[in-house]
Structure 1
């Protein structure tokens, strides 16, 4: 840019030169006229053609017979003004492919308009009405054969070029451009001055786009080749399927059902379920005015049967009982008022993020189970033979009673779901917001066969499609479904296109990580007693075989809570009171005395916060709070005189304990833990010290549990706000709730710190510190969050993000043991089994990816043969249409052949190095020409050549690309970072 800036003036002058006749000023006469002696004045310029001399009207008209949508300008002696081909006399004749003159032309309406990528065009157009009309077809067919898509069936006044429809189609899919904005840009291209009145064709544009989307989906699904035609389309047939998922009789080996138990995960289908409340639809239009084209033929479930079933269900009373979840508990709230659909629920392929056929349905009031049950069943109708790993953020609740609920469905939805064919899991980031007890069976980190699947792919798909949410919200039912079906079909197809490099990157990471983790695990295991390791492995394998057995990943909380400690002490004091000669020194027991002190400590902390916030703004309220607190401390002093009289003497000598001060919230209370070590043993009885010690121990445990719970809730509130909260009012309320939650987190942390300081004062340093560590600010973070200091260091250095679940170091608050002796050992055992699980998941990923690559190749072979088999299926067509059908089938087959060749070229060496058996899917692709690639030498791309067999490790994406194999050190770290970002769907900030 710095080099270009001095030239900006030159470029600007050349742009202005174009507003005149430029170098063509000397040519007053048309140079295109055949006879130079009678050449006509040159006044017309075509701005769509390349720059050249001006021409006369006759020459422009003759040269643009096949370019009727070009834009013209006329030189009026002073400047160029807009004109059109219609004004220079061009008349477009349809029905005569040989260019002959029609003996009986039938003119189109006078206001006939063609809309192309460069705007509106008024056009004089004639249909064929002579003796060739039979071959030319109806007026509708004549327009289509000229690549003009009519807006209506009879006497259209507006047509759209197929070039325009293709252009908008891609723009809407890739750029998420709305129809309104695109159509408005066409009007601006036609006239951006407001001086010309254009007829509004927006409604017809919306209608034609909906028809075009539907026709493209039918065409790509091969419906034009099928003798049954469009009416013969089956449920889900227009959906683009995932080639990497297991499809019996298509891409699975013949013996796939008979493999050993340790390899069954290779043929398990992983699906993810979720709802998105951004994709709403307002209560506008109706199916009578805007019918659904091909209901149930693509990704949405068949609408009529779906709505009929929903009418039989009332309000939902099943809600999630796990910590922090809001979607289900708000299912019957009124935020859906005014909407025909409050969102959509969907089922996708969890490993490859493909939307499944008949795996999408509208939700009406929140995330009801009946909606999700129905959508899940419809999606699984096409995948009954394979086992399924089902990921859902509330799987622990939703899975309960699923089979019983499905058993009540209509007979055609009574699918076999035998026990053991479904395994339920929770996405990795969502799992942290659930309870720990009995939830390891839902963790993708621990469930055998889940490999490195994170289950969060459906969230990334929602993020990808949400730019169209605003435009689809105001559409009718038919156009909205058509638009969303189109978006998901495009998303699925782009996944197939990107599979070659995507699967390669995944396999490279899996291969390196599996080897590294396996080596680290072996070294880690050597530090333990072999008998212990054998017992740990035996326990975890028994749990993997039967997850009803004790959870090896959970450290059972054997430490008593504060309430339990109080009960135990109360029983002990009652037993002492029943002994002969016992005399009660006060109506409040020693337990009551220490409990009152701990409660005062909590009130003091709360009062300090309130005073700091309200002392200036609310002096009366502050006075009342201080007075009430002073009165409570005076009562406590009376009890101190009974149970710890020497402490009262010490407090009388300490200015920090005086009550006659304004800031009473800062005084020293005089609990035994607050007395100096040299005076404590003489000033406090052993019973009093023991009671506070036991209560402080339980207080630390309770405060940690409360802190973890509040962090769970905080995490869910942030996610709820990000995904579902819109508009100023709800955002303000949610911000207030989040602010309050931040305060609760701080209170729990402060409570733990006070309890730990007191425990440290009473007991001194010891093994108990392994369980109750010092709580730093960086330790107060969610289970999925990385250490802030380490993250900042990475960002200052190489700008690397935090590690994923397989690498992350969680805060100690999530790993602390609950018992000092056995608990510490138990914590080590848990760390060992977690390490083992990480190794197992990486090894599964390393083995599963080659199988998925093989399946992709087999699926491409199947699709190629399927397209070739469609040739000649119809015998009711003329030769021209038969040629078109045959050409399209060959084109699609060739696309699959080239895709297979590209995948094989990129994966072949990796598969050779893996040592796995390579079947017929890996044979050379006949007729495939290896693609040319750029190579990196000394960090510079210097040559371009064909890749020989097994040389794909040097393929790069572009000048800034990374070498995709053979990476070491920092290069591999950087590449791993990019792949993790890709898998997580994140963007670097």
Structure 2
């Protein structure tokens, strides 16, 4: 850019040069025949053709006989003015593709308007009315065969070019540009000065676009190839289906129903359910004014049957007893006044994030069970045979009455959901919002057969669609539904054409992660007692078979508190004092002496913390607190003379231990951990310090819990500057308390280390780094910096170990420590198993088989078939594309018996050493 700045004048001059004739100043047309008696005057320039000499009227008309939508300028002698091909005499005869003349042309009105991507065009058109009219078709057909879409089928006087409709269609799908903004931009291309009066065609444009979207869906679904035509369209037929989800007689082997139980997960359909309250629709228009084109043919449920069911149910009565998510707790209180729909509920395939056919429906009053049940059943009617894994953010609550609610639906809407073939899970990011008791069976990290499914794919679908939420909010029912279905169809198609690369990248990552976690599990297992491993394995395998057993992923015990330790020491001293001949050294016991020292240490810490941010108005308070602390320190020195006499000479020589100073918060106390003294005093402080560590850890966890909830509340509910400032202040206070508690733990641990020296206790009371202070749902701090789109995503449960402070490693007894190790080991086992399942699931998902072609299919169907064949060839890919697949341990014996074609695809993963080299994918 810096090199361009000095050249600006040159660029500007060339830009202005185009406003005149430039180098083309010849007065006569250079395109006229050389034998012409007199060359005609050159006055016309085409803005859409390459720059060149000006043309005369006749040459311009001849050159643009098949280019009627070019914009024309006319040279007046001093400047250019707007003109048109119609002004140059261009006339278009429809219905005669051979170029022959029509014996009975029927001219359109003089103001006939065709709108193209470069603006408005007044065309001189004539329909065919001669004896060839039967072949030419009616007026609508003649226009459409000339790539013009009429605004109405009755005496059309406005038409939109197919090029315009295709251009807007892609812009609306990829760029989410609104219809109004696009239409306005085309108007500005025609006239950006406001001097030319253009009759608005916005309503016509909206109507045509709605029809265009619908026709495109019908075309892509092959309805033009079916003898039954549009009327024969069945429910869900216009939806783009996921090619990787299990579908009998399409991509499953013949023996998929009879394989062993340990491989049944390979053929399970994983789906995700959720609702989005951004996709509202105001109570405007009606189906009579704006009818739904093909209700139930695409992604939305059939509207009439859906509303008939909803009318039979009153307000939602079931409220969640598990979680505070808005899905249930606000089922009846979601703002709905003035809205015909408060949002949409949807079902997607969870592994590949395809919207399912008939898997979308409007919600009227929040996310009620009846809405979500009906939408779920409608989608599952297309997948009755395969086993199912259902993820929902309230699956623990919703699954309880699902079968009972479905049984109340009409017979044609009832499906069978056997317990042994249907599983339920909670998406990973939503899982921590639920109660921990008895919920491990809903965790996708621990459930058998789900691979690396996270269940959050539907949230990514909401993020993708939300840019058009405002555009669809004010639409009528038909146009809104048509636009949303078109958007989801486009999203499905983009996933369809890129799924080969998506699955390839997932397989590369899965193989690498499985290898790493398998090695980690092996090393972890080798470091443990074999008898413990055997016991834990039996326990977790029993739970995986019967999940009504106690949850093995919860820690049984935690370390003792300071109060418990002090009570235990007091009981010991009472027993000691009861012995004959016992003479106490002082009224204060040794335990009381140590407790007093710890309390003074805490006072110093608080005073030091408050002094850093004290204002002038609080200096007097600090002075009073220091005087009180001085009196306590004097008493403590008297006790030290009793219980630590050898410490007094050491403290007397240390200037940091003097009491005749102003900043008493920095005075050295001289606890046993600081000065080597009697075994009795050291043992008491050692026990109390250990308990202090556990108390500080628990307090730190509580602070982190509170911080997480404060952040979540602020994000969900706080708006505007004032409330945000107050919320930020509350968070800052909690952060200060968190840091204070972390400092307390570090201080206690340093003392514990001085007293106990390094040992096995450090496995549970680890050194507390800043990176360790994070909530259990947080990513690794090293990965939470701002990332670009293509950077490595933040780590989750399957990729990194949770901060040690949440491992339940605060158990002081051997039983508690062993229990913590047990939980960590079975989590490591689960991570390794999930990655192994992923390496087996992905090759199964890559089995794409072509539908049988019929001879009578024409070019469009052949083109679509060619796309699918190309995709199938893409999966094996070239050797270069698969070099990053590292050590894939899959053989045909790992999978059920299938035909030779299937076996060939499995064998492609048996790579040699040359394929083990990593590379960046292009």
Alpha-carbon distance between aligned partners in 2 of 1:375 and 1:953, rounded to the nearest angstrom = 44
Aligned with 1:36: secondary structure? coil
1:871-886 maps to which residues of 2 (within 5 A)?
871=856, 886=858
- In the alignment, structure 1 residue 966 sits paired with structure 2 residue 883: no
Equivalent residue number for residue 813 of structure 1: 805
Aligned with 2:257: secondary structure? helix
1:149-228 maps to which residues of 2 (within 5 A)?
149-228=149-228
* Superposed CA RMSD: 5.2
- In the alignment, structure 1 residue 314 sits paired with structure 2 residue 315: yes
Q: Are residues 35 and 920 of structure 1, via their aligned partners in 2, closer, same or farther at CA, if it must alter by over 3 Å?
A: farther
Equivalent residue number for residue 137 of structure 1: 137
- In the alignment, structure 1 residue 247 sits paired with structure 2 residue 240: no
Number of residue pairs matched by the alignment: 905
Aligned with 1:348: secondary structure? strand
Aligned with 1:115: secondary structure? strand
Alpha-carbon distance between aligned partners in 2 of 1:249 and 1:82, rounded to the nearest angstrom = 62
Alpha-carbon distance between aligned partners in 1 of 2:437 and 2:556, rounded to the nearest angstrom = 8
Equivalent residue number for residue 832 of structure 1: 825
- In the alignment, structure 1 residue 508 sits paired with structure 2 residue 500: no
Alpha-carbon distance between aligned partners in 1 of 2:791 and 2:332, rounded to the nearest angstrom = 44
Equivalent residue number for residue 399 of structure 2: 399
Q: Are residues 41 and 332 of structure 1, via their aligned partners in 2, closer, same or farther at CA, if it must alter by over 3 Å?
A: same
Aligned with 2:167: secondary structure? helix
Contact persistence 1:291–1:477 (CA under 8 A): yes
Q: Return 812-821 or 328-337, whichever deviates more.
A: 328-337
Q: Return 152-161 or 436-445, whichever deviates more.
A: 436-445
Q: Return 14-23 or 720-729, whichever deviates more.
A: 720-729
Q: Are residues 102 and 700 of structure 1, via their aligned partners in 2, closer, same or farther at CA, if it must alter by over 3 Å?
A: same
Offset, 1:264: 0.5
Aligned with 1:966: secondary structure? helix
Equivalent residue number for residue 873 of structure 2: 901
Q: Deviations over 1:146-195 (max 9, x none)?
A: 21111222223321111111111111112222212211221121122222
Q: Are residues 736 and 25 of structure 1, via their aligned partners in 2, closer, same or farther at CA, if it must alter by over 3 Å?
A: same
Contact persistence 1:767–1:820 (CA under 8 A): no
**Structure 2: gaps spanning 5 or more residues:** 579-588
Alpha-carbon distance between aligned partners in 1 of 2:388 and 2:631, rounded to the nearest angstrom = 65
Contact persistence 1:242–1:354 (CA under 8 A): yes
Aligned with 1:258: secondary structure? coil
Alpha-carbon distance between aligned partners in 2 of 1:337 and 1:488, rounded to the nearest angstrom = 27
1:673-692 maps to which residues of 2 (within 5 A)?
none
Q: Return 706-715 or 278-287, whichever deviates more.
A: 706-715
Alpha-carbon distance between aligned partners in 2 of 1:826 and 1:471, rounded to the nearest angstrom = 55
Q: Are residues 88 and 217 of structure 1, via their aligned partners in 2, closer, same or farther at CA, if it must alter by over 3 Å?
A: same
Aligned with 1:82: secondary structure? strand
**856, 859, 864: which one aligns with 1:887:** 859
Offset, 1:763: 7.6
Contact persistence 2:332–2:365 (CA under 8 A): yes
Alpha-carbon distance between aligned partners in 2 of 1:39 and 1:953, rounded to the nearest angstrom = 74
Offset, 1:240: 0.7
Offset, 1:74: 0.9
Offset, 1:443: 2.5
Using structure 2 for the length normalisation, give the TM-score. Answer: 0.82
Offset, 1:354: 0.8
Alpha-carbon distance between aligned partners in 1 of 2:631 and 2:479, rounded to the nearest angstrom = 73
- In the alignment, structure 1 residue 777 sits paired with structure 2 residue 770: yes
**691, 697, 700: which one aligns with 1:704:** 697
Contact persistence 2:73–2:83 (CA under 8 A): yes
Q: Deviations over 1:770-813 (max 9, x none)?
A: 33334332211133545435878x999x9866555433232111
Q: Return 94-103 or 552-561, whichever deviates more.
A: 552-561
Contact persistence 1:347–1:355 (CA under 8 A): yes
Contact persistence 2:315–2:332 (CA under 8 A): no
Q: Return 478-487 or 550-559, whichever deviates more.
A: 550-559
Q: Are residues 530 and 570 of structure 1, via their aligned partners in 2, closer, same or farther at CA, if it must alter by over 3 Å?
A: closer
Equivalent residue number for residue 984 of structure 1: none
1:515-594 maps to which residues of 2 (within 5 A)?
515-559=515-559
Contact persistence 1:673–1:762 (CA under 8 A): no
Alpha-carbon distance between aligned partners in 1 of 2:569 and 2:326, rounded to the nearest angstrom = 39
Contact persistence 1:363–1:371 (CA under 8 A): yes
Alpha-carbon distance between aligned partners in 2 of 1:825 and 1:406, rounded to the nearest angstrom = 45
Alpha-carbon distance between aligned partners in 2 of 1:914 and 1:263, rounded to the nearest angstrom = 13
Q: Deviations over 1:241-279 (max 9, x none)?
A: 111110123221121111001111110111122333333
Alpha-carbon distance between aligned partners in 1 of 2:24 and 2:346, rounded to the nearest angstrom = 62
Alpha-carbon distance between aligned partners in 2 of 1:467 and 1:539, rounded to the nearest angstrom = 49
Q: Return 398-407 or 911-920, whichever deviates more.
A: 911-920
Q: Are residues 13 and 795 of structure 1, via their aligned partners in 2, closer, same or farther at CA, if it must alter by over 3 Å?
A: closer
Alpha-carbon distance between aligned partners in 1 of 2:607 and 2:275, rounded to the nearest angstrom = 44
Alpha-carbon distance between aligned partners in 1 of 2:593 and 2:341, rounded to the nearest angstrom = 59
Contact persistence 1:504–1:906 (CA under 8 A): no
Offset, 1:54: 2.3
Aligned with 2:915: secondary structure? coil
Q: Deviations over 1:873-920 (max 9, x none)?
A: xxxxxxxxxxxx733333333333333334354599979995437745
Equivalent residue number for residue 488 of structure 2: 488
Alpha-carbon distance between aligned partners in 1 of 2:220 and 2:168, rounded to the nearest angstrom = 18
Alpha-carbon distance between aligned partners in 1 of 2:105 and 2:332, rounded to the nearest angstrom = 64
Q: Are residues 528 and 385 of structure 1, via their aligned partners in 2, closer, same or farther at CA, if it must alter by over 3 Å?
A: same
Q: Are residues 715 and 105 of structure 1, via their aligned partners in 2, closer, same or farther at CA, if it must alter by over 3 Å?
A: farther
Alpha-carbon distance between aligned partners in 1 of 2:657 and 2:407, rounded to the nearest angstrom = 70
**Structure 1: gaps spanning 5 or more residues:** 579-588, 872-884, 926-948, 955-963, 979-989
Aligned with 1:141: secondary structure? helix
Contact persistence 1:178–1:471 (CA under 8 A): yes
